[in-house]
Structure 1
Amino acid sequence: MVPRRGSISSFLKTAFYTAREPVESLPDPIPSYKLTTWIPQVVDGDGDSNASKFAGTPWLLQDEQWPRCQHCDEPMPLFLQLNLEALPEALQKTFGSGLLQFFYCTSTEPHCETECRAFFPFSKSQLVRVIHPDSQHSPIENPDIPLSFPPKQIVSWDELDDYPNGEEAEMLGVDLVGSSWEILAERGFPRAGDKLGGWPHWVQGIEYPSCPICGEQMRLIFQLDSNDHLPYMFGDLGCGHITQCLTHKTQVAFGWACS
């Protein structure tokens, strides 16, 4: 899944792109591809059902049952919930409205992650969706899930700069010698770890999925890394990405890759 240069270019003019003065220590045109990323700051605990959080209790619609894996039929733990209307001010309305929710099956018997190839978007053993909470919802009793995690509520965001890796920059038409991109890699760009927006930290190649409706390349919403805010490892220290169609904002996906 190779990004379309036109799609990325238009994305850079919207979303979280901000033009800044060149950074003296970085060769041109690297500074012009700077994006802003936001690092979640958390406290232990679940918070409200519509709060942004890692793990814990999600908001479920009235009379809705806890989402189950389509392979093993067991309830899937919530990995991430983002209240899209409570994101940093610079991102207001960027990703639409409602709650972004990501459920992921952690069953090992059967091993749904492997059998369903959960590293690919739209796998049967995961659910990524955007819902719009109504004024009523059913009382929620967390199901017995063998591998679930202690909840952490996201209470604030730290704003940082981010830059693409060399492969992605080449897809954008940037022509630089390898040493220039090595400078960014040595400084930890693109940033690993859990983050909102910014440039994806690709463990392997570039793997933006396509929107099931229009076929356009999807853009990064959130990067979910192994053993960061969730004590879970995707394969061998893999890194996952939740993406969204720029036009059809209810079309979201998750995929991960490891070395």
Structure 2
Amino acid sequence: MLVNQGLPKDEQWPKYPHCQNPLQFFLQLNLNTLPEALKNEFGSGILQMFYCTNEELLCDCDYEEWEPFSDIHLIRIVQPETEAKDVKNPENKKVFPPKLIVDWQQLEDYPNYAEAAEFGIELDDELYEDNFLTEEDSFPIEGDKLSGWPFWIQGIEYPNCPICGERMRLVFQVDSDDNLSFMFGDSGCGHITQCQHHKNQVAFAWTCL
């Protein structure tokens, strides 16, 4: 996870409109400095993710935090400004310890059986296990990751772009208790997705068992 590099100069720290609780800062990616293989793939700017972690008012249950366009979380791409605010964490807000992405490791990733079938690929169980699976790994890859194939806990649930209606694609997978000490539902897995044609359209959704 990246340390928040700043908010636009005229903006206050984001709050959840229903409980007025300051949103927890989860993730920031500089799209301009991604690995060469993904250069310009997701556009330019700073991808930011904020999320409501208010446990007292059960905002997650009352306002369907798992839905891709729920206002319980804020997912956006902002453009760097020459003037930015010196950001301080909100008072009385327990924040996650900052972590910095220092390098990327390129790994092979493959879709699950259902998603492969959408492309007309039928995976032979024995061949799939012999060639892809070991005791150390499985596919799709679990945990936090950039791009690749989503690890679906239930069915395939890509959201559609609100502008053109096309299926959005994975930008970043945010898993429970990986780099952040937070669990989505019952060991859920979340996905930041983006429209390939309207790159300012980004969403976040998660599912659990």
For the aligned pair, the TM-score class normalised by the smaller chain equals over 0.9
Q: Distance in 1 between matches of 2:47 and 2:205?
A: 15
Higher relative contact order (CA 8 A, sep 6+): 1
Q: Distance in 2 between matches of 1:216 and 1:185?
A: 32
Match in the other structure for 2:103? 156
Aligned partner of 1:72 among 19, 39, 45: 19
Q: Distance in 1 between matches of 2:120 and 2:89?
A: 49
Worse-matched range after superposition: 177-186 or 124-133: 177-186
Match in the other structure for 2:171? 221
Aligned residue pairs: how many?
206
Aligned partner of 1:176 among 123, 133, 141: 123
Match in the other structure for 1:235? 185
Structure 2 residue 198 is the aligned partner of structure 1 residue 245: no
Q: Distance in 1 between matches of 2:179 and 2:54?
A: 20
Structure 2 length normalisation: TM-score? 0.93
Match in the other structure for 1:128? 75
Q: Distance in 2 between matches of 1:145 and 1:185?
A: 46
Match in the other structure for 1:10? none
* Structure 2: runs of 5+ lacking an equivalent: none
Q: CA deviation at 1:144?
A: 2.7
Match in the other structure for 2:142? 192
Whether the aligned pair in 2 keeps the contact of 1:82 and 1:101 (CA below 8 Å) is: yes
- Cα shift readout 1:64-104 (whole Å, capped 9, x = no counterpart): 11111122111101100000001111111000000000000
Q: 3-state SS of the aligned residue for 2:179?
A: coil
Match in the other structure for 1:112? 59
Q: CA deviation at 1:131?
A: 0.5
Where do 4+ consecutive residues of structure 1 move more than 3 Å? 176-187
Q: CA deviation at 1:240?
A: 0.4
Q: CA deviation at 1:171?
A: 1.1
Q: % of aligned pairs identical?
A: 52
Aligned partner of 1:256 among 197, 202, 206: 206
Identify the structure with the greater strand proportion: 1
The residue type paired with residue 207 of structure 2 is A
The residue type paired with residue 73 of structure 2 is Q
Aligned partner of 1:204 among 140, 154, 158: 154
Structure 1 length normalisation: TM-score? 0.76
Q: Distance in 1 between matches of 2:190 and 2:133?
A: 19
Q: Distance in 1 between matches of 2:21 and 2:200?
A: 25
Q: 3-state SS of the aligned residue for 1:153?
A: coil
- Cα shift readout 1:169-199 (whole Å, capped 9, x = no counterpart): 0111112344444554664111000000111
1:145 and 1:238, CA in 2 relative to 1: closer, same or farther beyond 3 A?
farther
Q: 3-state SS of the aligned residue for 1:192?
A: coil
- Cα shift readout 1:182-230 (whole Å, capped 9, x = no counterpart): 5546641110000001111111110000001000000000000011100
Match in the other structure for 1:91? 38
The residue type paired with residue 221 of structure 1 is V
Q: CA deviation at 1:58?
A: 4.3
The residue type paired with residue 235 of structure 1 is G
* Structure 1: runs of 5+ lacking an equivalent: 1-52
Worse-matched range after superposition: 176-185 or 208-217: 176-185
